[in-house]
Each structure stands twice: as structure tokens, then as C-alpha cells.
Structure 1
Amino acid sequence: MDNIELLMSFGLTRQEARVYVLLLGEGALSGYEAAKRLGISRSNAYAALAGLVDKGAAYMAEEQAVQYHAVSIKEFCSNKLHYMEELSETLERQIPKQKQEDAKYLTIRGRRHIEDKFRNMLKETKERVYLSVSASVLDLFREELLRLVAQKKKVVLLTDEEYSMDGAIIYRTKKFENLSGSADCEGDADGQLRLITDSNYALTGELQDKETSTCLYSANPNLVRLLKDALANEIRLIEIEKKDASI
């Protein structure tokens, strides 16, 4: 994503984002100057500047001619995140509580959506996590896993490389080899993942590029039990191989 698209994720329109980037780079500008620099009409420039002021991304300085100063990107994003957190807390209080999750099988498509679900499952873990995934994907969720370990929750990891995480139980497996293609190519498939939290929720599928990633999520006891048995059998095989190698 380029800077304009990233800023649009924070609630700016495309035109507002363009003007904001201009202000950040050029300093204080009038509406006329902004329109001239970007090659847009003055009415569009003033509308964008008014939007930036309204959304907390710019301030007005009323001197001989009105000029607009950009709020720093760090301050703007921090304020927006704080505001969204407040809205989130309000919604959680006001929206009716979700009914107990049923045992349907839900398909989650797209890498970002899968990663979001992954993080939320870890965040909501109460007792234990069993995770089978390549080390390259494991690194993406290291912070969340370390937090679980610090909270004295059981974390069992199966991954394809020697991996260090104090407090976690780690098994090295060969199952991910050759799933990702060349390690030097960005965007290659990271391979399969299997995640079980609290023996109640399961996420399984493939984490590849943005478009082709697909996973299945469910609280269905049959799926959870199936994945648990598969992981347990894999751990037994790893332990047997380690024991045989030591003889």
C-alpha cells in the first residue's frame, strides 16, 4: 500500500490524503498554494483542507492570509487510534451481547483477515494454545505468543526451524519443507497452519498471498478433536524420532 492508501485507512479521502502529504512535505500553505502545487481546483483544495482540519490532521493559522499547518503523522495517527479505542469501548457497552458461538464452519478468505482472526484467537485465549505453522509465520505473532507465555498460559508450537521462546514447548517438524518455495522470494506461500485455542476453537488452512489465502474457522467439537488428534500424533512421532536418534 502506498502512503495515500495508508492514510485513507485512517479516514481521509484520497484528495485529503494528497493535500496532507503535501502539507507534511512543504510546510504551511494557503488553499491557493495547495491547489497550484497539486494541479487541482481551489474549491477542491479548500474542501480537502477543511476536511483535514475537521479530522484533526491540520491546523489553521489566521494571519494576513489563512494558512494550513499539518499535524505530525505520529500525532494524527495516535489521536485517531485513541479515538477509535474509545468508540470501540462504547460499542462494546451498548451493542447487545453476541449469542454463544455455534458450531458452524466459517470460511475466512484473504491473508489480512486470516491474520486478524489469528491474533484475536490468541488474544482471547484463556488457558492453552496449540499451533503448527512455519517459522516465518510464527514470527508474525511472536509478540502475542510471548504475552501468553508471560501470563503462564500453555503454548505448544510445532514449526520447521530451530525456534527459541522461553516458556513455550517447541517441536521441530519437517512438514513445512518445500511448501513455501524459494525462501528468497517475497510473497511466496508460507504453507499450512493449524491453530487450536482452549480446546474449543480451531483455525486451519493456508496462509499464502493476499488473494489466495483461505482458512476454515470453527468451534465445532469434531473439527477441534480432529486437529488435536493430528497434532498429538505428530508430536508423538517427533518424540519417537528424537528418542531413536539418541540411541
Structure 2
Amino acid sequence: MEQLLLHLRNLGFTEMESKIMVELATKGQASGYEVAKQLGVSRSNVYAALQRLTQQGYVRCGEGEPARYSVLNPEELATMISGRVQASLAYMESEMPRGGPVSPSFYNVEGDRNVLGALIRQLNMAEQEIVVDMWREEASLLRSELEQAELRGVRLLWAFDGGNAAPATYPVWPPLGRDSKRTDGRKFSFVIDRSWCMLGMRYEDGSAQAVVTEHPVLVDLLLNHFAQEMVLFELEQDMGAELEERYGERYSKINSKYVMHDPVDDGEEQAQ
């Protein structure tokens, strides 16, 4: 029930209107007084909402005293709402003013639903190329959109962590100082058509945070990072044994040169 009410509100109905429509659909037909009594709200509010719904055509008012109301069946409702939404979208697209150029900016997206929603919208608009770097758990949530993009002829370049075929894991940079940070998340990044990118983190509790931008600096950084990681991955696949034989322990030392330890921890160790 709550999900149905949520979706009705998403379609533009108020909370009162949504509850009335569901109540009428459940009962078949009812008077305003009966609806108000069942919902436990004032009759004046119910009659005002019924008047709006009747004027818009979503609810029918029958003859008689007291008047009895009924809501359109689900198929009729869906057809009417869809037609009006499509007409409004078409008008908005053609008549919305188009201003001058906008400087690229960064904006945050909070919440798993909002992050995935923003990604899905952009994936569905991809025309040429999608570069994906994420874990398989998150990739599975976007499988349909990625497959549809490939069917449209969009080039898909991907790196999935969390499986046997995944590239080598990235070095972990410890935080500077003692500020506690969440460590249960999985990072991901997308670059679409080399002009839009999202960089974010999805956590075990289902929450998510991301940064979205069209700024060319971050777009280039993510593309270069992806290319370097994939080149290194392929080199290690082809020459892993040779690299290990040639560099031995020095191979790990090269990496440790650039992934520094927390200086506070180093100071404590030296003090001990």
C-alpha cells in the first residue's frame, strides 16, 4: 500500500488524493462522507480533493443523494496519466528556454535510489561510449541498461572488481591523521561519451554517495586512470611471472614507495 501511494505521489497526486483514489478503487464506489470516515480525515478536505479529481477526469461522480464517487480502472488511469505526462514532456522539451553555455560544475548525489537513478538516465542517453569501473554487485543492478546500450551500438569498456576476471585491486591509501572514515564501501566510476562522469561509493547498508560533473579535468583523469589500470592489468597477465622473477621483492617495494603509510602511525612506531 505504501509503495502504491508513493508512486501515485510521484505521478503528481497529493497524499490526500492518492489515499482517496486507493480507497475508491478498493470499495468500488463510496460517498465523500464514507471516504472521510474510513481515512479518518475531515470531510471538507476529502470533498475538496474529490472535486479536483472529478474535474481532472480521474474520478467519476454518480447521480443521487448523497453523490457516490468511483475512480477509473487502472488501465484507464494509466492511459490518461501517460498521455498527459507525454504531452507535458513534449511541450517542455520544445518550449523550455535554452540559455547560453554553462560552466562545468560539480554536484553531489545522495542516496542509493538517487545515485542509481542518475546513472540509469545517463546510460539510457549514451550514444558512443561507456567506460565502467565498478564491483560486480553494483554492475548487476545496471545489467539491463548496459546490455541495452550495447544493442544500440554503444562501445562498452569495463573493469569489474569482485571476481576472478577482475583487474588487480587498487592500492589503499590510509587516511591522514585520526579522522575516522567509513571503510565498508565499494568505489565506482562511470564516464559516458567522454563528457559526463560520476565517481562515487556504495556502502554495505545500501546507502550511496557520488559526485557528478562534466568538467573535462575529472573526465580526463578518470579516463587516464582507467586506461593505465587496464594496461597494467594486461601486462601483469602476460608478464606476471617474468615481472616477479626480474623484480622479486622490489616489485612490492616500488608500489609501497607511492602508497604512503599514515605519518601519525609512523610517528607512534618511532616513538615506541
TM-score scaled by structure 1? 0.77
Secondary structure in 2 matching 1:172: coil
TM-align CA RMSD = 3.1
Question: Across the two proteins, how many residue pairs are aligned to each other?
Answer: 228
Q: Which one has the largest radius of gyration?
A: 2
Tell me the residue number matched to 1:88: 89
Q: What is aligned with 1:228?
A: 223
SS at the partner of 1:194? strand
What SS class does the counterpart of residue 22 from structure 2 fall into?
helix
| Contact 1:137 1:190 survives alignment (8 Å) | no
Q: Secondary structure at the match of 1:59?
A: strand
Greater share of residues in helix: 2
Equivalent residues of 2:168, 2:233 under 8 A apart? no
Identity of aligned residues (%): 22
Task: Report what 2:250 is aligned to.
Answer: none
Alignment of 1:156-195 (within 5 A): 156-160=157-161, 172-173=166-167, 175=169, 191-195=186-190
Shift of 1:236: 2.3
Question: 3-12 or 193-202: which moved more?
Answer: 3-12
For 2:177, the equivalent position in structure 1 comes to: none
Contact 2:161 2:167 in 1 (8 A): yes
2:120 aligned residue: 119
Residues 51-99 of structure 1 show CA distances to partners (whole Å, capped at 9, x for unaligned) of 3223443222225642211223454244323322221211111112243
Which secondary structure state, in structure 2, belongs to the residue aligned with residue 152 of structure 1?
coil
Query: Contact 1:104/1:218 (CA < 8 Å) preserved in 2?
Result: yes
Q: Quickly say closer, same or farther: Cα 1:76–1:46, change in 2 above 3 A.
A: same
Runs of 5+ unmatched residues, structure 1: 164-170, 177-188
Deviation at 1:149, TM superposition (A): 0.8
CA distance in 1, matches of 2:213, 2:39: 50
Q: Match of 2:25? A: 24
Provide TM-score, normalisation by structure 2: 0.71
Distance in 2 (alpha carbons) for counterparts of 1:39 and 1:107: 40
Stretches of structure 2 lacking an aligned partner (at least 5 in a row): 171-183, 243-272
Contact 1:202 1:218 in 2 (8 A): yes
Provide closer, same or farther for how the CA distance between residues 153 and 133 of structure 1 changes in structure 2, counting only shifts above 3 A: same
